[in-house]
Amino acid sequence: MDIKDYSNIFTRYDLVTESPYYSIRKAANENRLIHKVIEAVILGETDRVPHAVKAALAEHDPVDIIYNGLVAAMREVSLLWDEGIYYLPQTLLASDAMLLGLKMCENELGHPVRKRGLAVTHTAEGDIHDLGQKIVNTLLRASGFEVVDLGKDVPVEEVIKAVRKYRPDILCGTAHLSTTMSAFERISARMQEERLVVPFVCGGGGGVTLSFITGFLFGIYGKDAALAPKIAEDACRGMGWEAIRRKYNG
Ligand code: B12
């Protein structure tokens, strides 16, 4: 058979016909610049991200781009993964694209010179899902908190060492795997042994739920990264972990 029209040979039919991306492409027309960010992240096109984010930053608030662009795009990537359309390589590319955009937004937000308090953040032992943690870092820094970022896959004892060393106003944790979230419970138990009393704000996916997190001492469930600066603020004003839990987790 002779092919007469080559114009569609590079079309990603998986993305334009049978994936959630098809629907967000139709839905996101109202905001062209943010949509370009969403598109670049979903497609994992790290080379297109700088231009897309720069253009969006000219008209939008960085926090708006983080939530409506970067986080929204990762929500779609999660659906693509869950539906078996994306595998590890595409997801990894999308994650890298998101992190690149986040860095640009963070630079734009700036870091106030006078610090309001200190937070230690980490992604659980055995877990490399650190996108949520990086968003938390960005929002805390933008709100004037100093952040000690312990990184991902952080052993429980490293977390305890950092809490002992920095005496933070809050400790933050992120986990996504059912096999790694138990690290939070172990951290809580070790904090008790060491008499370290710090609000331990945890978020993420899978089994990281309100009932799991409020099942151990110091645990406060953070459904959204935007809660981190609010909780840090309360902790700096002297509110204890139990009062913070009552306020945010009911
Ligand atoms: C991106 C992703 C990856 C990327 C991670 C890149 C990175 N740098 O993080 C890559 C490709 C590397 C990856 C690898 C793997 N992944 Co993965 N991954 C995902 C995916 C698609 C999205 C998760 C994500 O980043 N979401 C976006 C971020 C922004 O959301 P978030 O972290 O939840 O953060 C938000 C809130 O939770 C909250 N938050 C988070 N932390 C905190 C902290 C505080 C203090 C506060 C207040 C709020 C807060 O705020 C954020 C928004 O505002 C999910 C799918 C899904 N349905 O969730 C699977 C998923 C989590 N992965 C999964 C698996 C199995 C794996 C692998 C084991 C696969 C493999 N066979 O190798 C490996 C993990 C290896 C390891 N040891 O960790 C499973 C986990 C199943 C389970 N429950 O155990 C999932 C659910 C996919 C699935 N349906 O099977 N993955």
Quote the pLDDT of residue 13. Answer: 66
Distance from the alpha carbon of residue 200 to the mean position of ligand 1, in angstroms? 20
Beta carbons within 8 Å of 246's beta carbon, 6+ residues apart: none
Distance from the alpha carbon of residue 105 to the mean position of ligand 1, in angstroms? 21
Average pLDDT, the chain: 91
Of all protein residues, whose CA lies closest to atom 61 belonging to ligand 1?
Answer: 176
**Could you report the per-residue pLDDT of 111-157, keeping only the tens digit for each?**
777 789 999 999 999 999 999 999 999 999 999 999 999 999 999 99
In the predicted structure, residue 158 carries a pLDDT above the cut 80: yes
Of all protein residues, whose CA lies closest to atom 59 belonging to ligand 1?
Answer: 78
Q: Which domains does the chain have, with CATH numbers?
A: 13-109 (1.10.1240.10), 117-249 (3.40.50.280)
Residue to mutate (ligand 1; options 76, 137, 176, 234; most atoms within 8 A of CB): 176
Quote the pLDDT of residue 18. Answer: 58
Q: Is 129 in the pocket of ligand 1 (CB under 6 A)?
A: yes
Quote the pLDDT of residue 4. Answer: 80
Q: Which atom of ligand 1 is nearest to the CA of 126?
A: 77
Q: Give the pLDDT band (50/70/90) at residue 9.
A: confident
Q: Are 53 and 37 in contact (CB under 8 A)?
A: yes
Q: 145, exposed or middle or buried, with CB in 10 Å at 0-12, 13-18, 19+? A: buried
Q: Where are the alpha helices (DSSP H) in the chain?
A: 13-16, 20-27, 32-42, 49-57, 62-64, 72-82, 88-109, 131-142, 156-166, 182-193, 210-213, 227-236, 241-249
**Could you report the per-residue pLDDT of 190-247, keeping only the tens digit for each?**
999 999 999 999 999 999 999 999 999 999 999 999 999 999 999 999 999 999 999 9
* Cα 2 from chain centroid (whole Å): 49
In the predicted structure, residue 16 carries a pLDDT above the cut 70: no
Q: Give the pLDDT band (50/70/90) at residue 10.
A: confident
In the beta sheet, which residues pair with residue 217? none
What mean pLDDT comes out for the span 169-198?
Answer: 98
Q: Give the pLDDT band (50/70/90) at residue 103.
A: very high
Report the relative pairing of strands 117-123 and 145-149 from DSSP bridges.
parallel
In the predicted structure, residue 54 carries a pLDDT above the cut 80: yes
| Dihedral sign computed on CA atoms, order 97, 100, 105, 106 | positive
Q: Which atom of ligand 1 is nearest to the CA of 170?
A: 45
Q: Which atom of ligand 1 is nearest to the CA of 204?
A: 37
Q: Is 204 in the pocket of ligand 1 (CB under 6 A)?
A: yes
Q: Is 130 in the pocket of ligand 1 (CB under 6 A)?
A: yes
Quote the pLDDT of residue 22. Answer: 60
What is the percentage of the chain residues whose pLDDT exceeds 90? 77
Q: Is 81 in the pocket of ligand 1 (CB under 6 A)?
A: yes
Distance from the alpha carbon of residue 176 to the mean position of ligand 1, in angstroms? 5
* Rounded distance between C-alpha atoms, residue 246 and residue 250, angstroms: 5
